[in-house]
Structure 1
Amino acid sequence: MTPASPSPNHTTLKARLEGWARPARGPMALASGLGIAQFAAYAGFAWSAGQALEAFFSGQPALAWLGATLLLAALRAACQAGEIRAGVEASTTVRQSVREQAARALAARGPAFSERIDSGELASTLTDGVEKLDGYFARYRPLMPVMLGGPMILILAAGAVSVTGAIILMVSAPVLILAMALAGAGAAAASRDQLITLQRLAGRFNDRIQTLDTLVAFNAAEREADGLARAADDFRVRTMRVLRRAFLSSLVLEAVSALAIAAIAIFIGLALMDRPVAGLGAGLTLGEGLFLLLLAPEFYMPLRRFSAAYHDRADAEAAAESLAPLFEGEARDSAAGPVRSSGAPSIGLAEGEVIYPDGRRGLAPLSFTAEAGQITALWGPSGCGKSTVLKALMGYVPLSAGEIRINGDPAHAPLLGQAAWIGQRPRLFHGTLAQNIALFDETIEPARIRAAAEASGAMGFATGLPEGLDTMLGERGYGLSGGQAQRVALARALAADMPVLLLDEPTAHLDGEAEALFLDTLTKAAEGRTVLMATHSPAARAVCARIVDLSGEEAGS
């Protein structure tokens, strides 16, 4: 997702996949056990079928053997169904767990991480990328024990009848595996390349949809449509490359297994015609010959399944690599938030400094205190570090030096959990106005939502909407003005009942009248709360009790 992220090596990817498999070890073990059991059932089925046919052709009673054949066929079918069901359960468990871990990791990293990556690529990774884990945990992982146990059962069964037949099967297996490995070389790289291309295509499409009005205004829509068409064609080419490798592996598998089965068939035919080669197979009965002939195709079944599932492994490794940026590197510690104060606390920094991993200085050493019950302004032009101060207080970016202080004491965690955040452009979601105020928290009572709307001034325009607070809003608050969106954001903060309000240039995109209305509402809402506002607006500065001037700092926001 991020170009700067180093590509994990195969060992790291394997370890990550192993870690993800832990919640599903039970279902995967069950799937493997049933997979091996079906080969034992098949060996019994093949023997019963061979004896039934021999009895039929020799004029002897065959009903008992026929009944055993049907019973073992049903047992094998039950094992197969159980194996598939357990595999699906394992895959579902793992994918749900990975999505939960990814969501927690994304929340732990905060906006400082998400704002540096393409949202379309991230969405593709969390949907298509996680879905690519399906085949690995549903089929590939449970198949590994079956790859050894199933053929071993059949070799032992064949060896009990004919050592020569067992040797033919044993010799053909490593030849087949080597041929498949050569044919499938590079499948993992091709699958990874395909997934990366899909993520980029999704990111590009998402960006263009969100900026469609700009593209149309600059007559760039047709050019971008052509660009998307070329990107989609590139994805088609890479997908066909993956499929070619898959079909080549299948072709090699079928060719080698067909030759081995033909060799066994010839061996059985010569033995039954009393013309064994070098005495091998002498005395082989019709039932035993049919038994060996039925075992031969089944012996290669795990390899056929492995050939189909091998590309599931390649897909899973590609998915694990695409998810790596979420699980690697340092993440903000959000496990233990600060203790909620009984009232509004004073907050601030003591020699707080932020230096980004690439060496850029986000904030020069700064010390200040925002007193409880007041509005404090972080004042200065764009680029002086105002937004970085707020992000550091919330824990969205880590402090390189210094510390956060609450009520004059060092804080052991950022303000996440006791501070509400209002940005320059509040994010509103597709849903009702009330749902946006409550942030879809069903535990917040309607009376509390309405009180927050009234205190923020949002009720002033909500009464004019068709259904009041139950009016549906479009994506990103479509249908509301900038000032109205800011009042919804303030209502959201008040409904959450946080003792601290952090505001990042809340009036930057408002006209004079809307700014005056918002600041008047903020002044009333600030009673009993600690408010810290980053701004370069003189009007906003005028309502603040204290000014922290960052204009002399050499910092970047």
Structure 2
Amino acid sequence: MSSSSVDNPSPQQRKARQQWLDALAAPARTQQRLAAALACLSGIGLIAQAGAIAWLIQQVLVEGAGLQACWPVLLALAAILALRALLSTAATAAAGRVADAAKLGLRQRIYRSLQGNGPLWLRGQRSGELGELMLAHGDAVEGYFSGFQPVRSEMVVVPLAIAVAVASVNWVVALILLFTGPLVPVFMMLVGWGAEAASRGQLSEMARLGGHFADRIKGLGLLRVYGRGQAELERVGQASEQLRERSMRVLRIAFLSSTTLEFFASVSVAMVALYFGLSYLGLMELGPGLPSLGIGMFCLLLAPEFYAPLRKLAAHYHDRANALAAVAEIERLLGSLPAADAGNAPAEAVGPVLAQTEFGMAAALDAQQLSLRPLGAPADVVSDFSLQLQPGERVALVGPSGSGKSTVLEALAGWLPPRQGRLQWAPGLRVVHASQRPYLFHGSIADNLRLGEPTASAARLQQAARAGQVMRFAAQLPQGLDTLVGERGLGLSGGEARRVGLARALLMEADVLLLDEPTAFLDAETEADLLQALNVHARGRSVVVATHSPAVMAWADRVITLPARPQQREDQA
């Protein structure tokens, strides 16, 4: 998604974003209709309320009626007020449920899209920005569903009902309302375009600031070691100042538009008051004769309420601008707007589900003439790769560094879609991938192992740790598997972190193991022990292992050699 299409969307893109936004509340469509209906009924109740008040004023001040004659209308007025309060409360509650459903739907779509893009795509993203998608951008749509949408329905129904009620007693006032009313939405639309652009800039700045701050928190240790703490504090301060300026820009537009809209509404109400004032003074004779005091009060009470839904819509129009700005940012960061069923891709190490084939397939895997290109690479690194993996078979992928062994494993894991060729898995297989650079989180070694199987018992955890040769170094630590490690495995060597990732994969009891250089950096004795452990653990399971080790090649049932790429052959020559 290009930045120009995000900043200057075409009418089709605007319509698509609006439809996508509205579809978030599809599970709560009944509550959405209920909120709109209750808001409209509460607004229509204003007509009865104004009629009761005007009747009381006419009877008491003009007709001289006593309190006894007014009791029924007073009770009716109290009932109307109570009913309108109940309707407003129920409408707010229903709109809140709609907003909650929309926020949940938004976050589910984003989460599924992140999963569907896969680990390779996620490696190139800033986690802070992606976190803002789930937080600030999710909150940005709340006001749209809880405020803007109910008021939008109210704006259509209530002013029209009020205009009809006023026209039944005085057509001049009705004409004043109908001619001045459109000024509010027209100006609101003009302001809304600027508000949406300002809101989009604010959300973008929030996402960048969140990503910047999260990245600095992750690297706080290194920043302190190299004495960059104060410099980074100044950069965070500068980013915060930019966010403050963008937030103030949004607030300026909001306050300016609200003030202008209030001005138009006040002038319109003043025109109605001026008409009645001049009529009662005998300076104007327009309409069906001199209106009574009750009719004048009825029209004056309803005149502000005619513009009230328009003013409320103007206030909530910024919620719509914020929501559309959030949608534009989601489209920019994810590349496209995620669909409701976007991606059922597996978690960190499990896959693929997108390439299953029919039942009765003899091979566990059938890959035919695959062409593979890593993300961001200018050309394919693997061409015409084929493999039929039988159940229980062990296959070693060998070749010079850069020949594409890791790329093949990533494609087999479902992380990297082939550019050409066919990749099919037998249905129902569970596939696990142990990469060269497993991600370890801040926590104990045992916590990182349990990411593979959270419900694993202590005995299974120990068994997997022994099979992955983790106990060789963990047994020497004061707290064993309960020893804490830092983010990204801080505190462990590269080889130790790789063994933790391997043990985590073994703990998952998958049908197919995809292992990337599992014996790298191991001495001959440890390598032999690891292969012996794999003999036991991988019995009945298929294994594809990328390696340079002669011992692993001898351990495998079959060896597939990937040729060097043309550039590599030139360098070697």
TM-score with structure 2 length normalisation?
0.84
The match for 1:386 is 405
Residue 279 of structure 1: how far off its partner (Å): 3.3
Q: Is structure 2 residue 311 aligned with structure 1 residue 299? A: no
Which residue identity lines up with residue 349 of structure 1 in the other structure? A
Deviates more, 1:465-474 or 1:293-302: 465-474
The match for 1:60 is 66
The 5-angstrom pairing of residues 127-138 of structure 1 reads: 127-138=135-146
The match for 1:13 is 17
Contact 1:487 1:518 in 2 (8 A): no
The partner residue of 2:190 within 176, 182, 186 is 182
State the SS of the aligned residue for 1:428.
Answer: coil
Q: Deviations over 1:428-449 (max 9, x none)?
A: 3456655543427555555544
The 5-angstrom pairing of residues 12-411 of structure 1 reads: 12-57=16-61, 58-61=64-67, 62-271=70-279, 273-275=280-282, 277-280=284-287, 282-324=289-331, 325=334, 327-328=336-337, 338=356, 347=365, 349-355=367-373, 359-369=378-388, 372-373=391-392, 375-404=394-423, 411=425
Q: RMSD over aligned Cα, in angstroms? A: 3.5
The 5-angstrom pairing of residues 525-540 of structure 1 reads: 525-536=537-548
Compared CA separation, residues 497 and 137, structure 1 to 2 (3 A):
same
Deviates more, 1:336-345 or 1:313-322: 336-345
| In 2, Cα distance between equivalents of 1:513 and 1:247 | 73
State the SS of the aligned residue for 1:124.
Answer: helix
Q: Deviations over 1:345-367 (max 9, x none)?
A: 65463321124687532422223
The match for 1:407 is none
Q: Deviations over 1:235-265 (max 9, x none)?
A: 1111111111111110111111111111112
State the SS of the aligned residue for 2:109.
Answer: helix
Deviates more, 1:106-115 or 1:471-480: 471-480
Which residue identity lines up with residue 415 of structure 2 in the other structure? Y
Q: Deviations over 1:1-31 (max 9, x none)?
A: x767953621221221232232222111111
| In 1, Cα distance between equivalents of 2:274 and 2:118 | 67
Deviates more, 1:227-236 or 1:459-468: 459-468
Residue 174 of structure 1: how far off its partner (Å): 1.1
| In 2, Cα distance between equivalents of 1:527 and 1:363 | 30
State the SS of the aligned residue for 1:110.
Answer: helix
Deviates more, 1:311-320 or 1:184-193: 184-193
Residue 302 of structure 1: how far off its partner (Å): 1.0
Deviates more, 1:473-482 or 1:190-199: 473-482
Deviates more, 1:204-213 or 1:483-492: 483-492
Which residue identity lines up with residue 365 of structure 1 in the other structure? D
Contact 1:364 1:553 in 2 (8 A): no
Contact 2:166 2:299 in 1 (8 A): yes
Deviates more, 1:29-38 or 1:153-162: 153-162
Residue 504 of structure 1: how far off its partner (Å): 2.5
Residue 457 of structure 1: how far off its partner (Å): 4.2
| In 1, Cα distance between equivalents of 2:453 and 2:151 | 43
Compared CA separation, residues 539 and 403, structure 1 to 2 (3 A):
same
The match for 2:348 is none
Deviates more, 1:60-69 or 1:126-135: 60-69
Which residue identity lines up with residue 367 of structure 2 in the other structure? L
Contact 1:102 1:327 in 2 (8 A): no
Which residue identity lines up with residue 403 of structure 2 in the other structure? C
Compared CA separation, residues 311 and 509, structure 1 to 2 (3 A):
farther
Compared CA separation, residues 420 and 554, structure 1 to 2 (3 A):
farther
Q: Deviations over 1:461-505 (max 9, x none)?
A: 667778776777654455655555444333332332112111234
TM-score with structure 1 length normalisation?
0.86
Q: Is structure 2 residue 421 aligned with structure 1 residue 421? A: no
Contact 1:374 1:526 in 2 (8 A): no
Contact 2:365 2:425 in 1 (8 A): no
Unaligned runs of 5+ in 1: 405-409
Which residue identity lines up with residue 25 of structure 1 in the other structure? R
Which residue identity lines up with residue 289 of structure 2 in the other structure? A
How many residues align? The count is: 547
Contact 2:103 2:139 in 1 (8 A): yes
Q: Deviations over 1:274-316 (max 9, x none)?
A: 5251333633222222222211221111111111211111111
Q: Deviations over 1:312-333 (max 9, x none)?
A: 1111111112222264599878
Calculate percent identity across the aligned residue pairs. 36
Which residue identity lines up with residue 23 of structure 1 in the other structure? P
Unaligned runs of 5+ in 2: 346-352, 569-573
Contact 1:340 1:418 in 2 (8 A): no
Compared CA separation, residues 371 and 28, structure 1 to 2 (3 A):
closer
| In 1, Cα distance between equivalents of 2:527 and 2:535 | 12
Residue 152 of structure 1: how far off its partner (Å): 0.7
| In 1, Cα distance between equivalents of 2:234 and 2:520 | 36
Deviates more, 1:359-368 or 1:125-134: 359-368
Deviates more, 1:50-59 or 1:61-70: 50-59
Which residue identity lines up with residue 401 of structure 1 in the other structure? Q
| In 2, Cα distance between equivalents of 1:127 and 1:213 | 26
| In 1, Cα distance between equivalents of 2:381 and 2:4 | 21
| In 1, Cα distance between equivalents of 2:314 and 2:519 | 60
Compared CA separation, residues 168 and 380, structure 1 to 2 (3 A):
same
